[in-house]
Amino acid sequence: MLFFTEYLAKKRKSILTFILFSAIFCVSFILYRLPIAAVWYPAFICALIGLVILLLDARKAYHKHRRLRELLALSSELLTNFPETVTWEDEDYQAIVRMLRDEQLRRANRSEERFSEMIDYYTLWAHQIKTPIASMRLQLQNDDTEPSKRLLEDLFRIEQYVEMVLCYLRLDSSSTDYVFRQITPDDIIKQAVKKYAAVFIRRKISLRYEATELPVTTDEKWLLFVIEQVLSNSLKYTPPGGMITVGFEPGNILYIRDNGIGIAPDDLPRIFEKGYTGKTGRTDMKASGIGLYLCRRICKNLGHVITAESTPDQGTVIRIDLAQNHPEVE
């Protein structure tokens, strides 16, 4: 009904023109003192014929409108089966749409090629930079001095940033591989803790680990990256002599809790946003605003849910709900 009302509104000029012409004939017959019925009867017949034509045209216009609405829901690549053209105007509009579609496809292909080249370049760079990093690590490990230990810790952070770059590149790559299988999260957590063992020892931070044997379905490599990022943040903002606790809550929820400086209430809702560092990050200039953003993206792809809870000057707890597993691979 709404469509027919709008259709009549668009045809109002033609309808008013017909009424105007009929009125002119009536006035002319009245002025010449001719029978008015000679006008009314043909006008009535013409009105009936016009109404039939109008209804048929409205039906055709409705099917055309419905087809166009279906095309509107499709991507530009699928815009091929257009409705039959009726006027020159229809042909012109369809030609414009085809031209814009082809141009958009060309631009998308060029953009994809440039993006692929950029991914290949930075992936190669990230792998090549690992060679001098490994060489520096071997040299520094042979020198058991305090400056060498500090340099080793800085080198460890560089390695983390390289891994973060690789992860960032792979997230938007069409070749990203997710291998979902049932595993025990203890194995992943032990790998992450072992990687940061030297940092725990150097900063004199205690670790309390509550193991679990509950199996979860996830991708081991990507979940390991998430746990490493959360542990890295906890170590970064926990003062020497502090404690980090890793364990599980009912419902197979992994938590990593620290008693560090915490997160300001205003910053807490935004810590998973890309590039957001918050008050703490702006103060010490150590935060990149990428780590937790990547964690949220990865957890979403794995079908897990990551949340944060924090109290300033008391600590932060990050929870990863491993029970939920509805992957949304991007």
CA distance 209 to 85: 71
The rounded mean pLDDT for the chain is 82
Per the document, the length of the chain is 330
Digit-coded pLDDT (tens) for 193-207? 988 888 888 889 999
User: What are the residue ranges spanned by the domains of the chain?
Assistant: 2-73, 181-330
Res 326 pLDDT > 60: no
pLDDT for res 147 = 82
Q: Label residue 283 by pLDDT band (50, 70, 90).
A: low
Q: Label residue 308 by pLDDT band (50, 70, 90).
A: very high
Residues 282 and 199 sit within 8 Å (Cβ to Cβ): no
Domain 181-330 has CATH 3.30.565.10: yes
Q: What is the mean pLDDT of residues 215-235?
A: 90
| pTM given for the model | 0.65
Q: What is the mean pLDDT of residues 256-260?
A: 92
Digit-coded pLDDT (tens) for 227-237? 999 998 898 88
pLDDT for res 329 = 43
Q: What is the mean pLDDT of residues 161-188?
A: 79
pLDDT for res 236 = 87
Q: Label residue 174 by pLDDT band (50, 70, 90).
A: low
Q: Which residues of 197-234 are buried (b: 16+ CB within 10 A; e: fewer)?
A: eebbeebebeeeeeeeeeebebbbebbbbbbbbbbbbb
Residue 133 CB neighbours (<10 A): 14
Digit-coded pLDDT (tens) for 74-130? 776 666 777 777 777 777 877 888 888 888 888 888 888 887 888 888 888 888 888
- Measured in whole angstroms, how far is the alpha carbon of residue 69 from the centre of its chain? 25
